[in-house]
């Protein structure tokens, strides 16, 4: 792979472009304050996130038809609230606000400047498990300068299903090798590479907090390994260097 063979640079979004953990913990704090209470918000955010992949696996395996991420998040939140006894009863407004918090996650500090740099040379967009409405609201909220958004509702597939990687390339009229997936998760990149995409690892050592023990470094010979998205832009196209 050379940078000149890549025409579209697409991004895993949750964890790679935006900081889901801080945003969801903050949403739990906001709900707790509404009830004059306090929660172990980070613990709840982590528990909610742990249900993320298993809920999509049922769809990837064919056990369940495609269902968008808002629905899965709501179902998973119901399980979390049933498992942990909160010191107050959550209202429908609380549940809505918590689910909607996934639409309004803040970007990592390097994300927006790095995306703007890449946009000067490449078509950029998310390659995410989020559906189009979610990703569009996130882009507006976080200032993500995507050229296009191809949500999972359009591909009807969740990663690591090969269709989740190949259908965006087909929609763009590109060969898989002309599309690069950027992710902070080695397993996502493995599936992308198996589908023929170019790959770039961006380190997010605080995605799961200061005690993170996974995805601290590249675990394979990905096409590009970068410290952050600004660094990625520099590596892919030196004239974009700061």
pLDDT at 3: 53
Structure tokens at 173: 């009229």
Block residue for tokens 């000149």 = 4
SS3 of 142, please? helix
Rounded to an integer, what distance in angstroms lies between the CA atom of residue 20 and that of residue 4? 32
* Beta strand segments in 135-194, E: 179-183
pLDDT at 239: 53
Angle of helix 20-34 relative to helix 41-50, nearest 10 degrees, comes to 120
CATH class of 21-103: mainly alpha
Torsion angle of C-alpha atoms 56, 60, 65, 66, degrees rounded to 10: 60
Query: Half-sphere exposure of 207 toward its Cβ, with a 13 Å CA cutoff?
Result: 20
pLDDT at 240: 47
Contacts of 235 (CB under 8 A, 6+ apart): 3, 224, 226
Residue ranges of domains in the chain = 3-19+105-240, 21-103
| Residue 177 burial by Cβ neighbours in a 10 Å radius (0-12, 13-18, 19+) | middle
Contacts of 129 (CB under 8 A, 6+ apart): 14, 56, 69, 152, 158, 159, 164
Block mean pLDDT (10 aa), the chain, length 242 = 79 98 98 96 97 96 97 98 93 98 98 97 98 98 98 98 98 97 98 98 94 93 97 82 45
Block residue for tokens 């689910």 = 99
pLDDT at 88: 94
pLDDT at 241: 45
Structure tokens at 146: 């995507």
Q: What is the pTM of this model?
A: 0.94
For the domain with range 3-19+105-240, which CATH number is right: 1.10.760.10, 3.30.200.20, 3.40.50.1000, 3.50.50.60? 3.40.50.1000
């Amino acid at each position: 792979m050379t940078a000149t063979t890549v025409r579209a640079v697409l991004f895993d979004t949750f964890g790679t472009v935006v900081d889901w953990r801080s945003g969801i913990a903050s949403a739990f704090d906001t709900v707790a304050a509404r009830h004059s209470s306090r929660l172990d918000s980070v613990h709840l955010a982590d528990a909610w996130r742990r249900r993320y992949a298993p809920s999509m696996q049922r769809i990837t395996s064919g056990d369940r038809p495609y269902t968008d991420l808002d629905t899965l998040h709501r179902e998973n939140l119901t399980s979390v609230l049933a498992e942990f006894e909160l010191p107050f009863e959550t209202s429908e407004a609380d549940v809505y606000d918590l689910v909607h918090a996934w639409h309004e996650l803040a970007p990592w500090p390097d994300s927006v400047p790095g995306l703007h740099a890449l946009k000067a040379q490449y078509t950029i967009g998310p390659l995410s498990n989020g559906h189009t409405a979610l990703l569009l609201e996130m882009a507006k909220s976080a200032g993500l300068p995507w050229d296009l958004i191809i949500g999972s509702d359009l591909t009807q597939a969740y990663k690591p299903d090969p269709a989740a990687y190949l259908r965006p390339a087909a929609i763009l009229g590109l060969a898989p090798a002309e599309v690069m997936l950027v992710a902070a998760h080695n397993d996502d990149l493995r599936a992308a590479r198996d589908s023929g995409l170019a790959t770039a690892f961006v380190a997010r050592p605080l995605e799961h907090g200061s005690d993170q023990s996974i995805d601290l470094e590249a675990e394979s010979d990905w096409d590009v390994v970068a410290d952050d998205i600004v660094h990625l832009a520099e590596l892919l196209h030196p004239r974009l260097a700061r």
